[in-house]
A and B are shown apart, each in its own frame.
Chain A
Amino acid sequence: MTDLAERLERFLAKRMPDATAIRVSGVEAHTEGFSAETFSFEAEVSRGGAAERRAYVLKREPVAGLLEPYDLEPEFRVLHALSEDPLPSPRTPWFESDPAVLERPFYVMERLPGEVPIPAPGASGEGPFDAAERAALAPQTARALAQLHAVDWRARDLGFLGAPGAEAASREVARWTERIERSGIAPDPVVVEALSWLRAHAPVCREVVLLHGDYRLGNWLVERAGAATRLAGLLDWEMVHLGDPIEDVAWCVSHLWRAGTPRAASLVPPLDWIALYAGASGRAVDAERLRFWELLAAVKMIAIQMTGIRAFCDGRTADLRMAIFDHQLAFLHALVAGLRGWLPLP
């Protein structure tokens, strides 16, 4: 879309009718994410004689991808509801569903400062952070998750996300099983067995909280400053939903995001991070519940990758990263085998 800047100017003009002039510049597509399309841009907004420059990020539904079918409106509504909350989520003023604007639905959020470290070992093999940064971020990430789980979702009218009752775990197993089936790709027997175990061992959900759904290294905006390193933002809310808080905890500490280290999110040993969360939330994390959600996390990732593989096979995407998942599934199958006790886990 070569005229994205012009289209954005027209969009912003309608949303800010008091502006006398709007100029969009620096439009840049971001390729880090594997799902919704992301663009950053700057808008200079003139009102009377004064001009203000602001940085924004736009997220647009892709044609095809890992989390299809897409509907960005729920995540927009959550982010919008949290816009004035002390939680480090970006202020998100606008959503647009009219395809005439940018061909597919999108929302615009304010750009927060910082960088997004990825879950990779890095040159040091220690992950993306040094020791001082790890020490600073571990409590902040635990605290932020506890804050999120403390949000009164009923008061914020977030019940539209669909509140499960005590059967939250079973619901999630069914959701991800359905996604695997929808891929039309036969799951590996290690996955079939894991799903059977999950169905038989789904814990009763004792409390329903607002879940990020993808709370992990790779979705954290960080301002690096040694011991003063700060968690500046929580990104990628596409999998936001209501459910068991331990689901988010298990996803965060999963082997999936340890960046080749023995540490949860490459920060601190998993049990230490869990203790930080327990302290911040006042919520105990029992081992059996955690075991369930850790296994579901691996199965969930397999389902997501199978969705991407299907999109590639169907020709609905030319993104070769979807094709890479085909051989990358071997890691996930080994993780599931390890979590089920067939293989020793690192």
Chain B
Amino acid sequence: MRIPVETLLNGVSRTLLEQVLPHVASRTARGQLYAAVDVLRNAARRLEWAGAPLETEAGSAEGALRTAASRLRESGAPAVAERIEANLRTWPAAPAAARAAAARLEIARAFEDLGALPAGVADAVRPILGGHLAAQAVRALALLQPSLLEEISRG
């Protein structure tokens, strides 16, 4: 998730106040809306995105990168392998968001490095990183709730 939790919850508060409240006639409902905004505002500074999915992502990326580095060393690209392993050592241990961000950056860099290597070497390593991307995509999808886009469009 790219939007900080505080920004997201404050944005929800703003939308409720600016775009929903003016169209609510019931006093009870208006009161509940204000209460919802009150809850959101007070929660906004106390919450962070859940760490577990981010730690899983970082762990998966680390595993893929170590495997890739090992394969690169075997394939005659030790400099790239060493760069990857050196960068792995610089990842922050915490918070989980920072570690996951470092992981994403390193995966992207590793793909760029592969672009400069002979096709035979790169093609053997690319699926290792691609496997992490696939697994991460599936994990991210598993966290999603059923979409309300159809209801949102119809109103």
Contacts and interface: CB of A to CB of B under 8 A. Distances in A.
Nearest to B151: A120
Q: How large is the interface on B (under 10, 10 to 19, 20 to 34, 35 or more residues)?
A: 35 or more
Contacts of A324: 149, 152
Contacts of B7: 312-313
A188 B106 CA distance: 11
Contacts of A341: 130
Interface stretch (B27-35, B36-44, B72-80, B136-144): B136-144
Given A31-B155, A185-B2, A334-B138, A190 B149 contact: no
Contact of B150 (A120, A196, A313): A120
Contacts, number: 107
B137 A328 contact: no
B113 to A, nearest CB: 11
Given A309-B3, A342-B130, A342-B131, A330 B111 contact: no
B141 A328 contact: no
A131 interface: no
Contacts of B63: none
Contact of B141 (A196, A306, A331): A331
Given A31-B155, A189-B107, A189-B111, A318 B18 contact: yes
A312 B3 contact: yes
A200 B3 contact: no
A104 interface: no
A32 B137 contact: no
Contact of A189 (B133, B154, B155): B133
A321 interface: yes
Contacts of B143: 327, 330
Nearest to B13: A318
Contacts of A312: 3, 7, 11
Nearest to A121: B150
B3 A190 contact: no
Interface in A312-346: 312-313, 315, 318-321, 323-324, 326-331, 333-334, 337, 340-343
A63 interface: no
B91 to A, nearest CB: 15
Interface in A179-203: 185-190, 192-193, 196, 200
